[in-house]
A and B are shown apart, each in its own frame.
Chain A
Amino acid sequence: LAKTTQPISMDSYEGQEVNITCSHNNIATNDYITWYQQFPSQGPRFIIQGYKTKVTNEVASLFIPADRKSSTLSLPRVSLSDTAVYYCLVVARGYQKVTFGIGTKLQVIP
Protein backbone atom coordinates (compact mmCIF):
# COMPACT_ATOMS: atom_id res chain seq x y z
CA LEU A 1 0.00 0.00 0.00
CA ALA A 2 1.42 3.36 -1.04
CA LYS A 3 1.75 5.81 1.83
CA THR A 4 0.39 9.31 1.32
CA THR A 5 1.59 12.60 2.79
CA GLN A 6 -0.50 15.76 2.76
CA PRO A 7 -0.50 19.00 4.78
CA ILE A 8 -2.22 18.71 8.14
CA SER A 9 -4.10 21.98 7.72
CA MET A 10 -4.73 24.85 5.32
CA ASP A 11 -6.57 28.14 5.53
CA SER A 12 -8.17 29.94 2.61
CA TYR A 13 -10.41 32.95 2.08
CA GLU A 14 -13.80 32.56 0.52
CA GLY A 15 -13.79 32.79 -3.25
CA GLN A 16 -10.20 31.67 -3.65
CA GLU A 17 -8.98 28.57 -5.44
CA VAL A 18 -7.51 26.00 -3.09
CA ASN A 19 -4.90 23.46 -4.09
CA ILE A 20 -4.09 20.56 -1.78
CA THR A 21 -1.09 18.47 -2.76
CA CYS A 22 -0.62 14.86 -1.80
CA SER A 23 2.66 12.99 -2.06
CA HIS A 24 2.62 9.27 -2.85
CA ASN A 25 6.16 8.34 -3.83
CA ASN A 26 5.59 4.58 -3.73
CA ILE A 27 2.54 4.54 -5.98
CA ALA A 28 2.28 1.35 -8.02
CA THR A 29 1.24 0.85 -11.62
CA ASN A 30 -2.24 -0.38 -10.71
CA ASP A 31 -2.98 2.33 -8.16
CA TYR A 32 -5.62 5.03 -8.47
CA ILE A 33 -5.64 8.33 -6.58
CA THR A 34 -8.87 9.15 -4.80
CA TRP A 35 -9.93 12.16 -2.77
CA TYR A 36 -12.66 12.35 -0.15
CA GLN A 37 -14.25 15.20 1.78
CA GLN A 38 -15.50 14.67 5.31
CA PHE A 39 -17.56 16.91 7.56
CA PRO A 40 -17.74 16.25 11.32
CA SER A 41 -19.94 13.27 12.23
CA GLN A 42 -20.60 12.40 8.59
CA GLY A 43 -19.20 9.72 6.32
CA PRO A 44 -16.46 10.57 3.82
CA ARG A 45 -17.86 11.83 0.56
CA PHE A 46 -16.20 10.81 -2.70
CA ILE A 47 -14.92 13.88 -4.57
CA ILE A 48 -12.77 12.73 -7.46
CA GLN A 49 -10.59 9.91 -8.66
CA GLY A 50 -7.87 9.70 -11.26
CA TYR A 51 -5.14 7.53 -12.70
CA LYS A 52 -3.08 9.99 -14.72
CA THR A 53 -3.08 13.51 -16.22
CA LYS A 54 -6.08 15.64 -15.32
CA VAL A 55 -9.57 14.79 -14.23
CA THR A 56 -12.33 17.35 -13.76
CA ASN A 57 -15.87 17.06 -12.48
CA GLU A 58 -18.48 19.53 -11.26
CA VAL A 59 -16.82 19.79 -7.86
CA ALA A 60 -13.06 19.69 -8.33
CA SER A 61 -10.09 19.00 -10.55
CA LEU A 62 -7.34 16.49 -9.95
CA PHE A 63 -3.92 17.04 -11.46
CA ILE A 64 -1.54 14.09 -11.70
CA PRO A 65 1.96 14.58 -13.15
CA ALA A 66 3.51 12.03 -15.46
CA ASP A 67 5.52 10.31 -12.71
CA ARG A 68 2.36 10.01 -10.57
CA LYS A 69 4.35 10.49 -7.36
CA SER A 70 2.10 13.33 -6.30
CA SER A 71 -1.33 14.72 -7.06
CA THR A 72 -3.10 18.02 -6.50
CA LEU A 73 -6.75 18.48 -5.66
CA SER A 74 -8.01 21.84 -6.86
CA LEU A 75 -11.19 23.35 -5.44
CA PRO A 76 -12.35 26.39 -7.41
CA ARG A 77 -13.72 29.41 -5.54
CA VAL A 78 -14.22 27.83 -2.13
CA SER A 79 -17.06 28.81 0.17
CA LEU A 80 -17.52 28.45 3.93
CA SER A 81 -19.30 25.15 3.33
CA ASP A 82 -16.07 23.69 1.94
CA THR A 83 -14.56 23.74 5.43
CA ALA A 84 -13.86 20.06 6.01
CA VAL A 85 -11.16 17.40 6.17
CA TYR A 86 -9.86 16.23 2.81
CA TYR A 87 -8.31 12.79 2.47
CA CYS A 88 -6.01 11.63 -0.31
CA LEU A 89 -5.95 7.87 -0.79
CA VAL A 90 -4.08 5.56 -3.11
CA VAL A 91 -6.09 2.49 -3.96
CA ALA A 92 -4.98 -0.46 -6.06
CA ARG A 93 -7.17 -1.68 -8.88
CA GLY A 94 -9.12 -4.64 -7.57
CA TYR A 95 -7.62 -4.25 -4.08
CA GLN A 96 -9.93 -3.81 -1.14
CA LYS A 97 -7.90 -2.54 1.79
CA VAL A 98 -8.31 1.23 1.84
CA THR A 99 -6.25 2.97 4.50
CA PHE A 100 -6.78 6.60 5.44
CA GLY A 101 -4.00 9.00 6.34
CA ILE A 102 -4.57 11.93 8.68
CA GLY A 103 -6.05 14.18 5.99
CA THR A 104 -5.90 17.94 5.46
CA LYS A 105 -8.18 20.13 7.54
CA LEU A 106 -9.25 23.01 5.30
CA GLN A 107 -10.60 26.09 7.03
CA VAL A 108 -12.33 28.60 4.78
CA ILE A 109 -12.34 32.10 6.21
CA PRO A 110 -14.97 34.75 5.41
Chain B
Amino acid sequence: DTEVTQTPKHLVMGMTNKKSLKCEQHMGHRAMYWYKQKAKKPPELMFVYSYEKLSINESVPSRFSPECPNSSLLNLHLHALQPEDSALYLCASSQLEPPTTFFGQGTRLTVV
Protein backbone atom coordinates (compact mmCIF):
# COMPACT_ATOMS: atom_id res chain seq x y z
CA ASP B 1 0.00 0.00 0.00
CA THR B 2 1.55 3.28 -1.15
CA GLU B 3 -1.43 5.50 -0.43
CA VAL B 4 -1.43 8.99 1.00
CA THR B 5 -4.97 10.18 1.64
CA GLN B 6 -5.89 13.85 1.64
CA THR B 7 -9.17 15.42 2.67
CA PRO B 8 -11.05 17.32 1.49
CA LYS B 9 -10.49 17.03 -2.25
CA HIS B 10 -11.90 20.49 -2.86
CA LEU B 11 -12.24 23.46 -0.52
CA VAL B 12 -13.61 26.94 -1.04
CA MET B 13 -13.03 29.39 1.77
CA GLY B 14 -13.40 33.07 2.40
CA MET B 15 -10.52 35.28 3.43
CA THR B 16 -11.75 35.42 7.03
CA ASN B 17 -12.38 31.71 7.40
CA LYS B 18 -10.36 29.12 9.30
CA LYS B 19 -10.08 25.69 7.74
CA SER B 20 -7.80 22.67 7.90
CA LEU B 21 -6.41 20.26 5.36
CA LYS B 22 -5.82 16.71 6.49
CA CYS B 23 -3.41 14.04 5.36
CA GLU B 24 -2.98 10.43 6.43
CA GLN B 25 -0.57 7.63 5.58
CA HIS B 26 -0.15 4.14 6.97
CA MET B 27 3.13 3.17 5.37
CA GLY B 28 5.16 3.77 8.51
CA HIS B 29 6.95 6.69 6.91
CA ARG B 30 8.54 9.05 9.41
CA ALA B 31 8.85 12.04 7.06
CA MET B 32 5.80 13.96 5.85
CA TYR B 33 5.53 17.04 3.69
CA TRP B 34 3.26 19.81 2.47
CA TYR B 35 3.69 21.17 -1.04
CA LYS B 36 1.87 23.94 -2.88
CA GLN B 37 1.33 23.82 -6.62
CA LYS B 38 0.04 26.62 -8.80
CA ALA B 39 -1.33 25.92 -12.27
CA LYS B 40 1.29 24.88 -14.84
CA LYS B 41 4.09 25.11 -12.25
CA PRO B 42 5.99 22.38 -10.41
CA PRO B 43 5.17 21.62 -6.77
CA GLU B 44 6.91 23.87 -4.25
CA LEU B 45 7.95 22.56 -0.85
CA MET B 46 6.33 24.28 2.13
CA PHE B 47 7.04 22.16 5.21
CA VAL B 48 8.82 18.97 6.21
CA TYR B 49 8.10 16.95 9.33
CA SER B 50 10.58 14.34 10.46
CA TYR B 51 9.64 12.04 13.34
CA GLU B 52 6.68 14.34 14.09
CA LYS B 53 8.88 17.39 14.45
CA LEU B 54 8.98 20.31 12.03
CA SER B 55 12.38 20.17 10.36
CA ILE B 56 11.98 22.47 7.36
CA ASN B 57 9.82 25.58 6.90
CA GLU B 58 10.42 27.15 3.52
CA SER B 59 9.65 30.68 4.74
CA VAL B 60 5.94 30.05 4.51
CA PRO B 61 3.63 32.87 5.77
CA SER B 62 2.20 32.32 9.24
CA ARG B 63 -1.34 32.12 7.86
CA PHE B 64 -0.34 28.52 7.05
CA SER B 65 0.20 26.50 10.21
CA PRO B 66 1.25 22.85 10.00
CA GLU B 67 0.65 20.24 12.67
CA CYS B 68 1.71 16.63 13.01
CA PRO B 69 -0.43 14.98 15.72
CA ASN B 70 1.19 11.57 15.24
CA SER B 71 3.33 9.63 12.82
CA SER B 72 0.40 8.92 10.48
CA LEU B 73 -1.34 12.28 10.38
CA LEU B 74 -0.44 15.70 9.06
CA ASN B 75 -2.64 18.78 9.13
CA LEU B 76 -2.35 22.19 7.53
CA HIS B 77 -4.35 24.88 9.32
CA LEU B 78 -5.40 27.82 7.19
CA HIS B 79 -6.37 31.26 8.47
CA ALA B 80 -6.86 34.63 6.80
CA LEU B 81 -5.73 33.41 3.41
CA GLN B 82 -5.51 35.57 0.33
CA PRO B 83 -6.90 34.81 -3.15
CA GLU B 84 -3.34 34.24 -4.38
CA ASP B 85 -3.11 31.29 -1.98
CA SER B 86 -5.53 29.42 -4.21
CA ALA B 87 -3.66 26.35 -5.42
CA LEU B 88 -3.40 22.58 -5.26
CA TYR B 89 -2.01 21.56 -1.87
CA LEU B 90 -0.18 18.27 -1.84
CA CYS B 91 0.75 16.08 1.05
CA ALA B 92 3.50 13.51 0.76
CA SER B 93 5.34 11.01 2.88
CA SER B 94 8.62 9.25 2.39
CA GLN B 95 10.79 6.42 3.50
CA LEU B 96 14.43 7.32 3.97
CA GLU B 97 16.10 4.28 2.40
CA PRO B 98 15.70 4.28 -0.52
CA PRO B 99 14.46 7.88 -0.47
CA THR B 100 11.08 7.34 -2.13
CA THR B 101 8.34 9.92 -1.68
CA PHE B 102 4.66 9.22 -2.28
CA PHE B 103 2.09 11.94 -2.87
CA GLY B 104 -1.57 12.29 -2.13
CA GLN B 105 -4.06 13.43 -4.74
CA GLY B 106 -4.14 16.93 -3.35
CA THR B 107 -6.69 19.42 -2.09
CA ARG B 108 -7.82 22.02 -4.60
CA LEU B 109 -8.15 25.19 -2.52
CA THR B 110 -9.97 28.27 -3.74
CA VAL B 111 -9.88 31.43 -1.64
CA VAL B 112 -12.65 33.89 -2.39
Chain A residues at the B interface, C-beta cutoff of 8 Å: 32, 34, 36, 41-46, 49, 51, 87, 91-103
Nearest to A102 among chain B residues (CB) is B42
Say yes or no: is B110 at the interface (Cβ < 8 Å to chain A): no
Q: Which of B44, B92, B103 has the most CB of A within 10 A?
A: B103
Nearest-CB distance from B34 to chain A (Å)? Answer: 12
Are A46 and B97 touching (Cβ within 8 A)? Answer: no
User: Which residues of B sit under 8 angstroms from A91, Cβ to Cβ?
Assistant: 99, 101
Indicate whether A94 sits within 8 Å of B99 (C-beta atoms), given known contacts A41-B108, A43-B106.
Answer: yes
Nearest-CB distance from A4 to chain B (Å)? Answer: 11
Label chain A's interface by main secondary structure. loop
Are B106 and A96 touching (Cβ within 8 A)? Answer: no
Are A97 and B88 touching (Cβ within 8 A)? Answer: no
Are A51 and B98 touching (Cβ within 8 A)? Answer: yes
A42–B37 alpha-carbon span in the complex (Å): 10
Indicate whether A42 sits within 8 Å of B106 (C-beta atoms), given known contacts A32-B98, A96-B94.
Answer: yes
